[in-house]
Amino acid sequence: MRIGVLTSGGDCPGLNAVIRSVVHRAVVDHGDEVIGFHDGWKGLLEGDYRKLDLDSVAGILARGGTMLGSSRVQPASLRDGVERARGHVADLGLDAVIPIGGEGTLKAANLLAQAGLPIVGVPKTIDNDIASTDVTFGFDTAVTVATEALDRLKTTAESHQRVMVVEVMGRHTGWIALHSGMAAGAHAIVVPERPFDIDELTAIVGERFSAGKRFAIVVVAEGAKPRPGSMELEEGGKDIYGHERFVGIGNRLAVELEERLGKEARPVILGHVQRGGTPTAYDRVLATRFGWHAVEAAHRGEFGMLTALRGTDIVMVPLAEAVQTLKTVPAERYAEAQNVL
Ligand SMILES: Nc1ncnc2c1ncn2[C@@H]1O[C@H](COP(=O)(O)OP(=O)(O)O)[C@@H](O)[C@H]1O
Ligand SMILES: O=P(O)(O)OC[C@H]1O[C@](O)(COP(=O)(O)O)[C@@H](O)[C@@H]1O
Ligand SMILES: [Mg+2]
């Protein structure tokens, strides 16, 4: 068999572990050939690739990022490029293509699968927002990085009697905010799933100071929004890939809380630090398992599917089903966190 692999969308720790696992399973156990397309869908559309063998994936397990590079391509170019992609798949004699990506990449994967290309998807994202899988690799690493940052911010916040407003990633969902906030013992967690009321948030932080506490930590997901009528927040519009441009909720909340409370507040934007560096052991294992199962699915001819974690098992789920909705933070999960704020 000849297999093509690519990584698309925002990078995340664990991508290299999937690539390595695919190459090992395919080359060693099945005698397959594997090629890696450069820079995501761009590589498939332009026929830009390199051959992957055991040597080329040696030493990458613990490395963050992706050895193949990643990129975003305008969805319209991808839709217009289906026939070009088909041409490259045929010319290269590929029996399967394994795209590793987030919800955007999986939509594109579904499009190509519907057009008849032999696609087996692998979900990735630090945001953990893919509905079909219990967890995506990258998430555990991002939560670990954010938790360590929150732990560190507590000590400096306490020394200065400050409010720290820590903005974490999470475009549509608040999983990183929820988990890092719970793990670090934050005092307020603001997620996109629950538009916030600035008066309520001010009261929560204010009551803490009134009770004699010397600092407060507020974790906010980058995609969080105020409840309509609660606080003005300008719109940032969309970028050329159709993604919302954020206006900096962390900065805005810090200014707002400082004014309202008369306490010093500092914004901390964790940004891409959460996405860089070595994956945790959990993410390495999950990524390695996904790679193994993607190759197996390709050999069974199970195309138009993606690997998913259900409980402790890896199962195959139709791409068409996986791209229907995002996995958002349910009210019950938020309530568990609220209990210990
Ligand atoms: N609705 C869509 N239709 C076709 N292609 C899409 C669609 N959404 C995203 N893509 C393609 O997948 C790429 C990655 O998607 P993006 O949302 O940026 O990252 P991620 O896969 O990490 O969610 C995009 O640059 C685009 O080429
Ligand atoms: O690196 P970029 O292009 O600024 O993208 C940032 C976005 O990517 C993410 O890190 C991950 O999202 P995806 O997995 O959907 O790419 C988001 O949390 C964040 O909003
Ligand atoms: Mg995305």
Residue 48 predicted with pLDDT over 90: yes
Confidence at residue 299, expressed as pLDDT on a 0 to 100 scale: 98
Say how many Å lie between the CA of residue 302 and the centre of ligand 2: 29
pLDDT tens-digit readout, 62-103: 999 999 999 999 989 999 999 999 999 999 999 999 999 999
Band of residue 340 on the pLDDT scale cut at 50, 70, 90: confident
Helices (H), the chain: 15-23, 30, 41-46, 75-80, 82-91, 103-114, 139-160, 175-184, 198-210, 249-261, 281-300, 319-322, 331-338
Please compute the mean of the pLDDT values over residues 298-310 and round it to a whole number: 98
Q: Which of 96, 186, 105 is nearest to 138 (CA)?
A: 105
Mutation test of ligand 2: which of 106, 127, 139, 326 has the most ligand atoms closer than 8 Å to its C-beta?
Answer: 127
> Closest Cα to atom 13, ligand 2: which residue?
10
- Rounded distance, CA 272 to CA 12, Å? 10
- pLDDT at residue 190 greater than cutoff 90: yes
Residue 127 CB less than 6 A away from ligand 2: yes
Q: Rounded to whole angstroms, how far apart are CA atoms 304 and 118?
A: 7
**pLDDT score for 30:** 98
What is d(CA 159, CA 212) in angstroms, rounded to the nearest whole number?
Answer: 14
| Smallest CA separation from ligand 1 atom 17, residue | 104
Indicate left, alpha or beta for 165 from its phi (over 0: left) and psi (-120 to 50: alpha): beta
How many angstroms separate the Cα of 9 from the Cα of each of 73, 76, 97? 9, 15, 16
**Is 126 annotated as a binding-site member?**
yes
Classify the complex by whether its ipTM is higher than 0.85, answering yes or no. yes
Residue with CA nearest ligand 1 atom 15? 104
| Digit-coded pLDDT (tens) for 207-229 | 999 999 999 999 999 999 999 99
Residues tagged active-site: 127
177 touches ligand 2 (CB under 6 Å): no
Would you state the pLDDT for residue 319? Answer: 98
The reply to whether ligand 2 has any atom less than 6 angstroms from the CB of 192 is no
Nearest atom within ligand 1 for CA of residue 241? 25
Interval 188-194 mean pLDDT: 98
Q: Is 90 exceeded by the pLDDT of residue 26?
A: yes
Residue 332 has pLDDT above 90, yes or no: yes
Q: Which residue has the tokens 């998430």?
A: 139
Residues of the chain with pLDDT > 90, as a percent, come to 95
Residue 189: the pLDDT is 98
Provide the β-strand partners of residue 267.
165
Mean pLDDT over residues 5-33, rounded?
98
Predicted confidence at residue 141, as pLDDT, reads 98
Could you identify the atom of ligand 2 that is nearest to the CA of residue 170? 18
0.95 exceeded by pTM: yes
Query: pLDDT tens digits for 226-268?
Result: 999 999 898 899 998 888 999 899 999 999 999 999 999 999 9
* 279: DSSP letter: P
Q: Using alpha carbons only, how large is the chain's radius of gyration in Å?
A: 22
Which residue has a Cα nearest atom 20 of ligand 2?
171
* The pLDDT value given to residue 242: 86
Specify the pLDDT at position 254: 98
Mean pLDDT taken over the chain: 97
Check pLDDT > 90 for residue 339: no
pLDDT tens digit sequence for 279-294: 999 999 999 999 999 9
Which amino acid, residue 120?
V
- Which pLDDT score is estimated for 60? 98
C-alpha triplet 179, 182, 186: angle, nearest 5° = 120
Q: How far is the CA of 301 from the centre of ligand 2 (A)?
A: 31
For residue 317, pLDDT beyond 90: yes
